[in-house]
Structure 1
Amino acid sequence: MTHLFRAALIATSLAVLAPALPLQAQTAKPAAKAEGDDPVVARVNGQPITRSAVLGFYSQLPAPMNQIPLEQILPGLINELAARKLIGMAAEKTKLDADPAVKARLQSAREQVLQNAYLEKRVNTEITEATMKARYEKMLKDQPPQEEVHARHILSASEADAQAALDEVKKGADFAEVSRKRSTGPTAATGGDLGFFTKDKMVPEFAEAAFKLQAGQVSDKPVKSQFGWHVIKVEARRKAEPPSFADAREQIYEIMTQEVVEKTVADLRKDAKIETYDWPAAGGGRQLPTLAPVEPKKK
């Protein structure tokens, strides 16, 4: 059975098991000790199910099962692990582990576990709170806060309409009210309010005009962009606040993890002999030149 099928099975079967859980908990035997002080919580034909195995299975449950307290579903988890062991024992009894296709899948799974464990060890060694904070400080230094403006606009289909709106504002009409009345853009309902934005977030023509204005100023003429004609008012200017370390932590971790993986592969390639071959035909394949090592990306 696939992992997803078994996960779906336990999600439905635990509802049936729920009434029996208190009884099972009462009749359970005291935990035995396993090597390394990992208590045995059950045995299946003599093979142990340890506490760590149950906790590992529990951590992989999909929502909403992983939100149920462990104590409430513990007997059901043990029953599910026992079922898996029984299936595995039956497979071994029928010598499935000697089947070439199964052996290839087992080898692939073993290699994947080792690969993940090796990379996880490298990541845990090289990425710490200290190294992430150092990267955060470097990011702040390399990317100083950008200037932002808070602007409103009136969008018109023609220059004449935009000029008429601008004339009305120049005569003392409230900019937001004119935008609500005249603007054809989606922000008309909010008085043309665009909020705060950095220069790179708007089309060049609009951004250039907006960032030349000071707080309270209105563009002296309509500005044309691909969306139409704009009358712009800047409400305020400020420096953009950088994200806190807590907010940036996850992104920094992902970036550094990718770097560690790339560097690990590049380092391993330096001393490796990698040969590739043509897709094998009936008489075998022809050797191709050795692959060139892949250099890590420079940051």
Structure 2
Amino acid sequence: MLFFKANTVALARLACGAALLVLCACGNGDEAEVPVQVDGAAAASVNGEKIYVSDVELEAVARGLIPAGQVLDHKSQEYKTVLDQLVDQKLMAQEAVRRGIDQDSAAKRRLHMARERILGNLLVEDLVAREVTDARIDRMYAEQVTLQQSNDEVSIAHILFASEEEARAVYDEIQDGASFESMARAHSKDSATRMENGSLGYVSPNDQMDPFPVMIANTPEGGISEPFLSADGWHILKVKNRRTRAPKTRDEMRPEIVTFLTLNQISKILRELRTQAVIQEGGPGTASPPATPLSLGEDAAPPEDTASDAPEGNEL
């Protein structure tokens, strides 16, 4: 669930209008960040019209057969099935054109709407590629961690190192079977905790220096973090026990964050476009549209330039 600090109604109304674009363009969140690239390799030719390999891959992504950016094996049954269906689609389209169906006024309107829908999806993909970056995902994840760990108590231990090389070497030894406790006693530069197996006791994650709150959230109970840098030096962290439920990891929360940030970007650009556009309403039996452009209403006033980043205090 999403909780907004301000302008909830306006953002929700704009977001609902954009939701179909988001679902089509970004799927579960990851697909939108790696759009399928069009290339010149032809998969087949139907009466002289080419079907490209990228067309087959794009269709496979749309059907959830492969993640975006992954190459579809040309020898696989999935590739052959999708290609056969695209050949059939091409044949049907060619026959529709031969019969002049595409020249019908209703058909032209539908084709025009389909083009607008595709262009909208392409705009969403472009917005996601430009604006929904790993840096913004990381910032919002850190915010979510702060909100979700506000009453958390976690028993942690750490090993402090002077360099990344030392930390990485000890981390590799632990991954190979060495105990965290023995490595803490032998290598930690923290004299206050070294003989206590690196234990820091039960702490409130949000009271710790950065990036400890994020690393605590992203490390499962009983798990060991990868080496990370703080103001004191390089660390390896162990989460020994939690008295409350752990937040989701970054990977688990990533699809929700991507979708949330994407909706924010779409809402921002829709507000700008609606402000600049002349929108007139006309319906059945209306001789001419009213002269006064539609107003979004007072509740649609945009926040003070906060849509490009996730607003502070938003909880997923």
TM-score (norm: length of structure 1): 0.50
Residue-by-residue CA offset, 1:19-77 (whole Å, 9 max, x unaligned): xxxxxxxxxxxxxxxxx85222321111112211222223334679xxx9652324443
Partner of 1:46: 48
Partner of 1:123: 128
In 1, are the aligned partners of 2:43 and 2:52 still within 8 Å (CA)? yes
Alignment counterpart, residue 144 of structure 2, candidates 127, 139, 147: 139
Alpha carbons of 1:80 and 1:141: their partners in 2 closer, same or farther (altered >3 Å)?
A: closer
Partner of 1:281: 285
In 1, are the aligned partners of 2:127 and 2:262 still within 8 Å (CA)? no
CA shift, 1:84, in A, is: 1.6
In 2, are the aligned partners of 1:135 and 1:252 still within 8 Å (CA)? yes
- Greater Rg by CA: 1
Partner of 2:301: 295
Alpha carbons of 1:85 and 1:237: their partners in 2 closer, same or farther (altered >3 Å)?
A: closer
Partner of 2:181: none
Partner of 2:253, secondary structure, is helix
Where does structure 2 lack aligned partners over 5 or more consecutive residues? 1-37, 67-71, 154-240, 312-316
CA shift, 1:286, in A, is: 4.2
Partner of 1:245: 250
User: Any residues of structure 2 matched to 1:77-88 within 5 Å, and which?
Assistant: 77-88=82-93
Measure, in 1, the Cα distance between the counterparts of 2:39 and 2:260. 37
CA shift, 1:144, in A, is: 3.7
Partner of 2:294, secondary structure, is coil
User: Any residues of structure 2 matched to 1:200-279 within 5 Å, and which?
Assistant: 238-277=243-282, 279=283
Measure, in 2, the Cα distance between the counterparts of 1:291 and 1:80. 45
Alignment counterpart, residue 104 of structure 2, candidates 99, 107, 116: 99
- Give aligned-pair identity as a percent: 26
Measure, in 2, the Cα distance between the counterparts of 1:55 and 1:253. 23
In 2, are the aligned partners of 1:132 and 1:253 still within 8 Å (CA)? yes
CA RMSD of aligned residues (A): 3.1
In 2, are the aligned partners of 1:40 and 1:51 still within 8 Å (CA)? yes
Measure, in 1, the Cα distance between the counterparts of 2:256 and 2:74. 31
Partner of 2:110, secondary structure, is helix
TM-score (norm: length of structure 2): 0.48
Residue-by-residue CA offset, 1:103-143 (whole Å, 9 max, x unaligned): 00000000001111112211221111111001111223345
Alignment counterpart, residue 111 of structure 1, candidates 110, 116, 119: 116
Matched residue pairs, number?
173
CA shift, 1:269, in A, is: 2.0
CA shift, 1:93, in A, is: 0.9
